[in-house]
Amino acid sequence: MKPINIGICGLGTVGSGTVALLQKNREEIQKRSGHPIAITHIGARRDNPDCDVSGIRVSRDIFEVVRDPNVDILVELLGGIDTAKDVVLEAISLGKHVVTANKALIAIHGQELFDAAEAKGVRVVYEGSVAGGIPIIKVLREGLAANRILWLAGIINGTGNYILTEMRQGGRTFADVLAEAQALGYAEADPAFDVEGTDAAHKLTILASIAFGIPLQFDKIYTEGISHITQADVSFAEELGYRIKHLAIARRSEEGIELRVHPTLVPKKRLLANVNGVLNAVLVEGDAVGPTLYYGPGAGSLATASAVVADIMDLVRADNRHSGVPHLGYADSGYGLDIMPIEAVSTSNYLRITALDKVGVMAQVALVMSRHKINIEAIIQKEPADGEECVPLILLTHQIREAEINNAIAELEAMPEVVGSITRIRMEQLDG
């Protein structure tokens, strides 16, 4: 039986994990896929001392792997966008299937890559691009294909989840936990992609396109990070029966599709509120199946390699060059729903207001909220600390359109009794 030859571009965390997994489970993979699978060529700018590449050709020029006529499937694990895009497009032009775990590449250039692959009669598969070892793309594209997806909400960045978990469990500050996350290798030296939500927005772009049959539209996602969350916010949320999670949310409505990434108060009893550390989870509600939860490691060498190798096996199993499953799950991804601007979205809200400790301030705050027709669900007013002139006021609101709560916040911040900016965190019940 002719082996299927694999070329891998990139020998970092996921690349080395993919090599290790293909070697470790070689017999099992062959039994399941029906063919022996052999890594014959690796492109890496430098060696990885943790990866055994003995017997495998290694090139410093990654395009030598792409152009190798003996390579049947090209695995792109470089990261970044520009070079990765060039690698994938050239592989497609040469009639090779492509496996990638590059969420930024798919979110931004996916449609161009898929169109090129369709024209050439090959496939670009990308399970490893979202949520590591959790097969959420296969779930949405295949397992739940008979459902009309109503909404999904996910913790899809492990770094942010680790930081918020440690702030809650250890009573620590954002800066302190971030430094630890960097020391442990969970966060990059420049952590902005993780903590400011860009990484999660790339992944949500992909999930929403598959879930709703819409084009990939990264530029239309509302994105907000967690760097402004304080230990006080975490404690107040806990006192009120909530936990703060950095969620990626996509919801279908009559007005369009909501796409947003932001810190969110989630009731403590909800499953997503209890996903801790670097783990990921995605909650999906379909009209037939109801709510379903997918949970597990969202990153890491072997976890993501599990998804990458599964994609390789799917390509090997196919009897022809074109799988029957469309790249984004829909035969036509021009679905007629627009992405809603964040100003049109309605949520409940947590507000933390720092105010001077004066008589009548709470009444003025309530008057502003009433003027904007915002109902208050709960209020916490703390006593001032010794020597402090200001007190924190915590408000939970009922659902209100974003534009209206923004107007109310602006009016509150203009009050002379209110000090600094108001912290607002949206709230989700996640109960369907």
3-state secondary structure of 394: strand
Mean pLDDT score, 158-163: 96
Each residue's pLDDT tens digit, 229-275:
999 999 999 999 999 999 999 999 989 999 999 999 999 999 999 99
Which letter, b or e, does each residue of 98-119 get, where b requires 16 or more Cβ atoms within 10 Å of its Cβ?
Answer: bbbbbbbbbbbbbbebbebbee
pLDDT band at 330 (very low <50, low <70, confident <90, very high): low
Question: Which tokens belong to 298?
Answer: 């969202």
- Supply the Cα-derived Rg of the chain in whole angstroms: 24
Report pLDDT for 336.
66
Question: Which tokens belong to 203?
Answer: 């992944």
Kindly give the interhelix angle for 301-317 and 13-24, rounded to the nearest 10 degrees. 60
Residue 220 known to be catalytic:
no
Cα dihedral 36, 125, 225, 268 sign = negative
- Alpha-carbon gap, residue 6 to 29, rounded angstroms: 14
The structure's pTM equals: 0.93
Q: Which of 29-38, 45-54, 121-130 has the highest mean pLDDT?
A: 121-130
pLDDT band at 320 (very low <50, low <70, confident <90, very high): very low
Domains and CATH numbers, the chain: 4-135+301-317 (3.40.50.720), 136-297 (3.30.360.10), 345-427 (3.30.70.260)
> Which of 103, 203, 220, 245 does the annotation list as catalytic?
203
Tell me what percent of the residues of the chain surpass a pLDDT of 90.
Answer: 86
Beta bridge mates, 242 = 267
Each residue's pLDDT tens digit, 60-119:
999 999 999 999 999 999 989 999 999 999 999 999 999 999 999 999 999 999 999 999
Only one residue has tokens 């440690």, namely 166
- Alpha-carbon gap, residue 374 to 398, rounded angstroms: 7
Report pLDDT for 387.
73
